């Protein structure tokens, strides 16, 4: 499960939903998916290779499903099955390279403790303040607002409240009374209407 307003933490599922929505829009514009065109489209979607060059059917069953697209008779031999296994190993190395490249420039936000006051961008103005009541497994926090609502937010959307540092007053401040600041005066020359004539 991904935290609210943070769908990128569940990117693979969001991408799959986007593909199926596009398929429904193409094959069943009325919304009735009980037709043969949608079934064939879903079958081809299961047989379509992804970024690791293997289809979801190959990952789940070990072979492609029979569909309307013509396939060579020797595509299910042991030779091609071993090549599929080597393809899995290459995809694993590629995924690790992508992760190291991302982590090279990314930095993790500092973790927050229970009881910390944080701003919550519910209204996109950072004007709501809540208190952290619990910490989840993957950078998600439970926040109790002043209205007693409990929200569930990702660390990306939380900003700790910064209070101004309180400085102790000096001893000299009690002896001399504080003077009010003088008003700021303009330094331009003021001329009356009669001087302009």
What is the second-level CATH architecture of the domain 117-160? Roll (2.30)
pLDDT in tens, 43-53: 988 888 877 77
Q: Reduce the secondary structure of 3-25 to three states and give it as a string.
A: CCCCHHHHHHHHHHHHHHHHHHH
Order of all β-strands in the sheet with 128-135: 150-154, 140-145, 128-135, 117-120, 159-160
Tell me the β-bridge partners of 143: 132, 151
Token pair belonging to 133: 């009541």
Q: Under a CB-based contact definition with an 8 Å cutoff, are residues 143 and 132 in contact?
A: yes
- Regarding pTM above 0.85, the answer is no
| Radius of gyration over every alpha carbon of the chain, rounded to an integer in angstroms | 32
Q: What is the pLDDT of residues 89-124, one digit of tens each?
A: 777 777 777 777 777 887 888 888 998 888 876 667
């Amino acid at each position: 499960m991904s935290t609210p307003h943070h769908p990128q933490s569940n990117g693979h599922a969001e991408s799959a939903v986007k593909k199926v929505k596009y398929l429904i829009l193409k094959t069943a514009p009325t919304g009735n998916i009980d037709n043969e065109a949608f079934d064939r489209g879903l079958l081809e979607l299961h047989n379509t290779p992804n970024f690791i060059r293997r289809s979801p059917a190959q990952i789940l069953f070990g072979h492609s499903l029979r569909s309307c697209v013509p396939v060579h008779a020797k595509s299910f031999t042991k030779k091609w099955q071993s090549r599929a296994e080597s393809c899995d190993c290459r995809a694993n190395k590629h995924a690790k390279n992508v992760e190291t490249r991302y982590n090279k420039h990314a930095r993790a936000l500092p973790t927050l403790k229970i009881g910390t006051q944080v701003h919550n961008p519910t209204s996109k103005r950072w004007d709501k303040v809540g208190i952290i009541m619990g910490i989840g497994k993957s950078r998600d926090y439970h926040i109790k607002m002043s209205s007693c609502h409990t929200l569930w937010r990702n660390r990306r959307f939380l900003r700790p409240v910064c209070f101004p540092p309180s400085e102790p007053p000096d001893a000299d401040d009690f002896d001399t009374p504080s003077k009010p600041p003088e008003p700021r005066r303009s330094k331009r020359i003021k001329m009356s209407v009669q001087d302009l004539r």
